[in-house]
Structures are given as structure tokens and as C-alpha cells.
Amino acid sequence: MSREKPSSDGSPVSEAFSELIRQCGEKAYNLAYRLSGNEPDARDLVQEAFVRAYAHFETYDEKRPFETWLFRILHNIYLDGVRRYAHGHTVSLDAPSPVEDSAWEEILTGEDPEPAAGMMREETAGLVQKALNAIPVHYRTAIALCDIEGLSYEEIGKIMSCPVGTVRSRVHQGRVLLRRAFEDLEKGGRLQ
Amino acid sequence: MNHEEALLSAYLDDELSVQEKARVDAHLGVCPDCRRELEGLGKAKKRLAGAGRRAMPPDLIADIESRLVKPWRARWFPVLGRPQVLIPAGMLAAAGLIVGLWMGLTSREPDQYVPLEPLLAAHARYEAESLVPEDNMVADSYSLHVANADGGDSQQ
């Protein structure tokens, strides 16, 4: 891939970088959404990640997958945001996402006894996101990368800047917490 | 019984070494608790994977590309326009204005002393000149009339 960068005087983005945006944009957006839990923050995260990747493109090692590098940038931007938020609030990286809880009934909208498949998928996705939001950031990132993106522990370790042993522990703990969150949502309607 | 809970997720993800996998397999054969735990973890994994990816908003790629080609002024303007920057800048400007006004007021020099003598002398001359009859206000006789008026005053 060419490392040529377009100038900042309004000329179009290089074809190579545009292709990377098209290839990795959806995965990056999905990870951003799973981490932040809402569309506006996910949009900002993805945009900022691509802007930084573009600005530091010279430092990208072509032998490694661009996607892993981009995810690492995105994850760091998200952690910076959480730390800045935590600085002014009483939350930490070990706390659940600062997203308002919703009742089970709010997630399962509609009373149609035979809802369309699309609506079922939306409801399932909404429930999953609620459960994910209840999990501390490190565990949430690990299981989102593992179970949704299907990355190996080694790739997750590169993205999260930690050893494989730590990834193994975070994935397991995250999955245990996720299962509890699902149970809480289904039993009580609200997360504990 | 030595449970292998911590390894169960890695077992599900096929991330164990051959030896570790054999150990977990052997343990699962004799431990119903760990089999149940493995089943629960497997369901959670499947549920998360089943949620699939969120579709990317169709305009996001265009938004990203537009941010990459903007001139530096356009990229910096939103930063400069943020309240975190604007409020301190406004406060700084207001403080500068107040300090400037205060310095201007306190550094003003006192009024200059104006001697009264020349003013009084000029006033006396004006009064003397007003004694000159209007029909004699000509250049030749003006000094003489003033002198006469002064002499007359002194004789009285």
C-alpha cells in the first residue's frame, strides 16, 4: 500500500486510504458502538480514530493488519475519554459504562405477538448492548473483540496493549459478568 | 476437586495449549459443575456473537473523508470554538480590560499648576482698554489714551 498522504489543502483523500476506510469502517464503527453504547459517541470515536490513523500513517507497520492498528487507536481514544469523564465524576475503568439503565420493557418495545425478524434482531441487539454497558470497560472490550469481531487472544492483546494471559482472564471474567447481566435483565427487568 | 473454571472461556475459544485442553477435557468428564459453567459461558458467547454487527450509518464514510481533507483552519476552528477554550479566553480578555482601565485611571498625572498672575494682568488690561472711547479706537491714539487713562487714574 502506498504511504502517500494527501495534502491538507482540500485535495481528495488518497485512494488507498479511502479503501481502508471502506474496508474497516464498519468493523470500527461496530466496536465503537459496543464500547460507547450509543451512535453519536460511536460516530465521533470512529472519525477521530481514522483522523489519527491518517495523521500518523507513517508510523503504521505495513506487515501488520491495518485493522488491528486502527482498533488499538480507537480503543485508546475511548479510554482517554473514559478517563477524562472519570476525572470529573466518580467512576473508574472498572465501573460499568456511564450509560443510563433501562428497564427490560423499554428494550422489548412493541406488543406484537409475532414481531418481524428484523425487530427481533433489534431487540436482541438492544438487550446485548444493555448487558455490555453493565460490564467494566476492559472486560467489555475483550469480549466484544473476541465474540463479535472473532479476534484471537493475541490480536486482542495487541489492541489492548496487554499480555495474552491478561486477555484470557478478561475474556473469562467478561463472559461471567455478561451472563449475570443477561440473567439480571431477564429476571428483574433492570441491571443490578 | 480442582476446578478449571478460569480456563473454560479459553477452552471455548480454542485458545488453550494441547496440554491445557487435555487437562480441561479430563476434568469436564468428572465435574458436572464445570460442565454447567461451560454451558452457561457458551450461551453468553453465542448470544453476544448472535447480536451481530451494528450497521454503519451510510453518511459516516463521507464524514470521515471530509474531516481528512479539511484545511487546518477548519479543523482547528471547532476546537477554538469550544466552551472549554472560549470561556477562559473571554475571562482573560475581560480581566485584561479591567486591569487596563484601572492602570489608565491610576496613572493619570495631577492637573498642571496654572499661574493666575498673567490672567489677572490680562483682565486688568481688558478693563483699561474698555475705557477708551469707541470713536478714538485707532492705532495712533490707542497707546496715548491708555497712558492718559492710567495717568488719570493715578492722579485721582
> Do A28 and A59 share a domain, yes or no?
yes
From chain B, pick out residues whose CB is under 8 angstroms from the CB of A14.
none
What's the mean pLDDT in A45-68? Answer: 91
CB pairs below 8 Å between A and B: how many?
113
Distance of alpha carbon A71 from alpha carbon A183, whole angstroms: 30
- The domain tally of chain A equals 2
> Do A79 and A118 share a domain, yes or no?
no
Please state, rounded to an integer, the average pLDDT across all residues of chain A: 79
Structural domain ending residue among the three candidates A90, A106, A125: A90
> Do A175 and A103 share a domain, yes or no?
yes
* Per-residue model confidence (pLDDT) at position A139: 95
> Do A79 and A111 share a domain, yes or no?
no
pLDDT band at A100 (very low <50, low <70, confident <90, very high): very low
Distance of alpha carbon A66 from alpha carbon A20, whole angstroms: 8
For the segment B66-112, what is each residue's pLDDT rounded down to a tens digit? Answer: 888 755 555 555 566 677 778 888 889 999 999 988 888 777 665 56
- Residues 53 through 112 of chain B touching chain A, CB cutoff 8 Å: 53-57, 60-61, 63-65, 67-72
For the segment A151-190, what is each residue's pLDDT rounded down to a tens digit? Answer: 999 999 999 999 999 999 999 999 999 999 998 888 876 5
> Do A23 and A39 share a domain, yes or no?
yes
> Do A115 and A29 share a domain, yes or no?
no
Q: How many CA atoms lie within 13 A of A8 on its CB side?
A: 12
> Do A102 and A178 share a domain, yes or no?
yes
* Per-residue model confidence (pLDDT) at position A105: 37
Q: CB B48 to CB A124 under 8 A? A: no
Distance of alpha carbon A25 from alpha carbon B59, whole angstroms: 11
Sequence-ordered alpha helix ranges (H) in chain B: 5-12, 18-30, 32-50, 60-69, 72-80, 83-106, 117-129, 139-155
- List the single residue in B6, B50, B71 with the smallest CB-CB distance to A9: B71
> Do A141 and A187 share a domain, yes or no?
yes
For the segment B15-26, what is each residue's pLDDT rounded down to a tens digit? Answer: 999 999 999 999
Distance of alpha carbon A90 from alpha carbon A113, whole angstroms: 42
Which position has the higher pLDDT, A123 or A142? A142
In Å, how far is B49's CA from the nearest CA of chain A? 5
What's the Cα-to-Cα distance from A89 to each of A84, A93, B26, rounded to whole Å? 9, 12, 48
Q: What is the CATH number of the domain that holds A161?
A: 1.10.10.10
Q: CB B60 to CB A11 under 8 A? A: no
Instruction: Assess A166–B contact: CB distance below 8 Å, yes or no.
Output: no
Q: CB A171 to CB B10 under 8 A? A: yes
- Most confident segment among A116-120, B48-52, B83-87: B48-52
pLDDT band at A102 (very low <50, low <70, confident <90, very high): very low
ipTM: 0.74
Which position has the higher pLDDT, B77 or A124? A124
pTM recorded for the entire structure:
0.63
Nearest to A157 by CA among A68, A97, A79: A68
Q: CB A125 to CB B51 under 8 A? A: yes
User: By residue range, what is the domain housing residue A124?
Assistant: 94-192
